[in-house]
Structure 1
Amino acid sequence: MDFADILATFIGRTVEVFQTTQFLSGQLVAVTPGTFTVQTSQNIYTPSTVRVNVVIENTEFVRILPA
């Protein structure tokens, strides 16, 4: 079992994604072997919701928030 397999068990949960140059917060909607997709939530940095594809290799860590 690798990181993508473990992350896929949390689809539908709210996550925080930390990368070297950005921070994302939103709902985890999909996971593939090399990427995952987050539906971002509106905040002061992103005025609308968008789907962001994140490369797993470029991710520092992912925080799964409590349900």
Structure 2
Amino acid sequence: MTFEEALAVFVGRHVEVLQPNQFIQGTLVSSSGGILAVDTVSTNYIPTTQRVNISTGSVALVRILPQ
């Protein structure tokens, strides 16, 4: 099982994604082809809600939040 396949089980869940240079919170929309798509929540880092595509190679940690 690949990293993307493991995360695909959690599509629709709230997640926190940590990269070396940023922290992203939102809802996991998809996980395939080496890309995670997350609909972000508004934070100080990203002032408006938007979809962010994240390369799995740059991900240090993904935390799946309780529902």
Q: TM-score range by the shorter chain?
A: over 0.9
For these two proteins, the number of residue pairs brought into alignment is: 67
Structure 2 unmatched runs, 5+: none
- 1:55 alignment partner in structure 2: 55
Shift of 1:13: 0.2
- 1:19 alignment partner in structure 2: 19
Structure 1 unmatched runs, 5+: none
Shift of 1:44: 2.6
Q: Structure 1, residues 24-43: CA drift from partner, whole Å, max 9, x if none?
A: 00000011121110000012
**Scaled by the length of structure 1, what TM-score is found?**
0.94
**Scaled by the length of structure 2, what TM-score is found?**
0.94
Q: Which residue identity lines up with residue 14 of structure 1 in the other structure?
A: H
What is the aligned-residue RMSD (CA, Å)? 0.8
